[in-house]
Amino acid sequence: MVQYLDQFIQMLRSEKYYSPHTCLNYRRDLNQFQAYLAARDIDSWEKVNYNLVSGFAAQRHRQGRKSRTIQRELSSIRSFYQFLIRNNVVAQNPALEVRAPKTDSPLPKTCDAETIDRLLQLPQDSDGLQVRDVAIFELIYSSGLRLAELVNIDLDDIDLAQKHLIVTGKGNKTRHLPIGGKAVVATGRWLKLRQDYCQDTKQKALFLSKQGRRISPRNVQNRLKALIQRQALDQHLSPHMLRHSFATHMLESSSDLRAVQELLGHVNIATTQVYTHLDFQHLAQVYDAAHPRAKRKS
């Protein structure tokens, strides 16, 4: 079995011109698989079948290997068996139909309502740009906006009296959103100062830069970092985390997944369902701490 492994790695070097690092990864993956086979008294590549390859993937998953790692290992096995088929060692590729567990989907990072309250407190000595910044982040959190949606808002898109906002999202699709009371107040405060930064009467953008142009996404990101430092917060935040926090807090309060899907502008509800996992984690923690049968003995 080792002989064919050596020949395969040599082929990768001489014919595929793979780097030494890549060849080392192939070698390591296939050594792992061979060790798995040896533990089951499999002494020939011809004896390997679908069940053995599938069992290997399952074992790696139980060992805590990430889905991406298992996918790479299965890819190495498939490539190796294609090599064996070309050299008439085996007739079939037993790894062809084996699939790794679904790719790990990291849960969105969020922050609690108390942190957001601290972030959006407007100091008494704030200048016009700081007033603008608070309005920007109030609006993102209030309506669950994407960063691109926020910077593209025009004056005609927002109606503070009706607490109503129109945004254009992915796929050029528009949606109508409510605006929370604090975001209405913050945005109204900015609109009173906006003329001080507007150098072009034809400029339609709601939020302007210091130079009077439509504010850029990078500028918003940098201003959020500055706001975090000014408020002495010890948590990393991004505009997208404010959107995630909006979705999580809405679900925790209402449990209306379909409504949150509409507010976020998700085409597929499966995209929104990731927030139910966050909510479940919170419920599980409460359950473990409170239920008589779930409490851990100290």
- The whole-angstrom distance between residue 80's C-alpha and the CA centroid of its chain comes to 33
Instruction: Give the closest residue to 12 by CA, choosing from 33, 29, 32, 26.
Output: 26
Taking a C-beta distance cutoff of 8 angstroms, is the pair 8, 80 a contact?
A: yes
- What parts of the chain have a pLDDT lower than 70? 103-108, 255, 267-298
Instruction: Return d(Cα 227, Cα 137) in angstroms, integer.
Output: 10
13, two tokens: 């070097």
Domains delineated in the chain: 2-86 (1.10.150.130), 113-267 (1.10.443.10)
Helices 128-143 and 181-194, axial angle in degrees (round to 10): 150
Q: Where are the beta strands (DSSP E) in 100-196?
A: 158-159, 164-168, 174-178
pLDDT at 126: 83
How many residues are recorded in the chain? 298
Radius of gyration of the chain (CA): 28
> What are the tokens at 175?
């949606």
Q: Residue 39: exposed, middle, or buried by beta-carbon count in 10 A (0-12, 13-18, 19+)?
A: exposed
Per-residue confidence (pLDDT) for residue 5, from 0 to 100: 94
Q: What is the pLDDT of residue 292?
A: 63
Residue 251's pLDDT is what?
75
At which residue do the structure tokens 């503070």 appear? 160
Tokens of 274: 């990731």
Provide the annotated active-site residues: 146, 170, 240, 243, 266, 275
| pTM, two decimal places | 0.59
Tokens of 110: 């969020």
